[in-house]
Structure 1
Amino acid sequence: MYSYFRRLYLLPFTFCLIALWSACTRLPNVQGRGETMLQGVWNQDSVANAKDLLSYTQHHFKISCDSFYVDLTTHSKVNYYSDSCFNNGVWKEYAKGTYAVKGDTLILNGTFTKANYKQKVSGCYRSGRYLNNFKIISSSGSRLVLENLADQRECVLELKQAITCVPKEL
């Protein structure tokens, strides 16, 4: 009788183990291909009404496979930082990470870095996570128009160099 009840207790455990084992799949050890239309070096040459704004940021993206690198050049008439960081109202920040496109939204998930794209843990300006979402307004071969969902500013990017995705091992 005891062995019969012991088997009954093992039955649900066995089913759970089989369900977990079959649900887990190993991901490949290579980066994803990303979106073909985004592959390349993109530059925001100007910002609409820049002279009338208290601050604005110009973007320079490099998108390769499922990864992005972004240089952010901020121009500001207002000092948000200590005087040693303000740099006469012009400063650069850098970030890298991965991206995804869901519907018409470009989702950037990364971290702020130093100029060499190595991790930044302290210093002037922002550090930590870089999370930004853009609505893709339009895209042609050499022009990409995005709307920053944080501040609804339009970001018009021009393709400076096309890149062909060659996935690398992780």
Structure 2
Amino acid sequence: MYLFALVFGFSAFVLSCTRLPNVQGKGELLLQGVWNQDSIANNNKLLNYTKHHFKISCDSFYVDLTTYSKANYYEDSCFNKGVWKEYAKGTYLVKGDTLLLNGTFTKANYKQKVSGCYRNGRYLANFKIKSSSANNLVLESLNDQRECILVLKEKITCEQKEL
């Protein structure tokens, strides 16, 4: 009896496994495109804020982050008079009303960044999707509850690539 259960269990396991295709996922149709955060409400009253520029294609994202700061959190050589750019890329997932971004910080050419000014390593960001339409997307950062109002600049059609 034990041997039968073992053979049956192993057979069911093997038959239930399916090889995933070796191509990137399709992602969310609504998000496909180049999105820009043109302005930030009350930015003159904030100590610091970051503008986002996203390119979302299939299940991948690229983000340019431009930070404006009145306070110096970095070495003087990195502070750049209170304006600096960071870059990240990775994959995203939408679960319910939440956009989950999982990637790494990169150089401006989106190649791996291992040292230098600002942040290195993992880029993890989560946003609540507050509203969406064909040309507008309103996100709320789950980290600091700041709104990120994005405007569609260019629509992209997902062309899945091999991994």
Distance of 1:12 and 1:122 partners within structure 2: 54
Give the aligned partner of residue 99 of structure 1.
92
**1:66 pairs with 52, 55, 59, which one?**
59
Q: TM-score, normalised by structure 2?
A: 0.95
**1:100-156 Cα shifts (integer Å, max 9, x gaps):** 111111111111111000111111111111111111111111111110110000000
- How far 1:24 sits from its partner (Å)? 2.1
Give the aligned partner of residue 5 of structure 1.
none
Structure 1 residue 46 and structure 2 residue 39: aligned? yes
Give the aligned partner of residue 146 of structure 2.
153
Q: Percent identity over the alignment?
A: 75
Q: TM-score, normalised by structure 1?
A: 0.91
- How far 1:31 sits from its partner (Å)? 0.9
Give the aligned partner of residue 82 of structure 1.
75
Structure 1 residue 30 and structure 2 residue 27: aligned? no
Larger Rg: 1
**1:119 pairs with 112, 115, 139, which one?**
112
Distance of 2:81 and 2:3 partners within structure 1: 71
**Unaligned stretches of 5+ in structure 2?**
none
- How far 1:11 sits from its partner (Å)? 4.4
How many residue pairs get matched? 163
Runs (4 or more) in structure 1 with deviation over 6 Å come to none
Give the aligned partner of residue 137 of structure 1.
130
**Unaligned stretches of 5+ in structure 1?**
1-7
RMSD of Structure 2 on Structure 1 (CA): 1.3
- How far 1:78 sits from its partner (Å)? 0.7
Partner amino acid, structure 1, of 2:141: N
Distance of 2:12 and 2:75 partners within structure 1: 56
**Other structure's SS at 2:14 match:** helix
**1:70-105 Cα shifts (integer Å, max 9, x gaps):** 000000011111111111111000000011111111
- How far 1:16 sits from its partner (Å)? 4.3
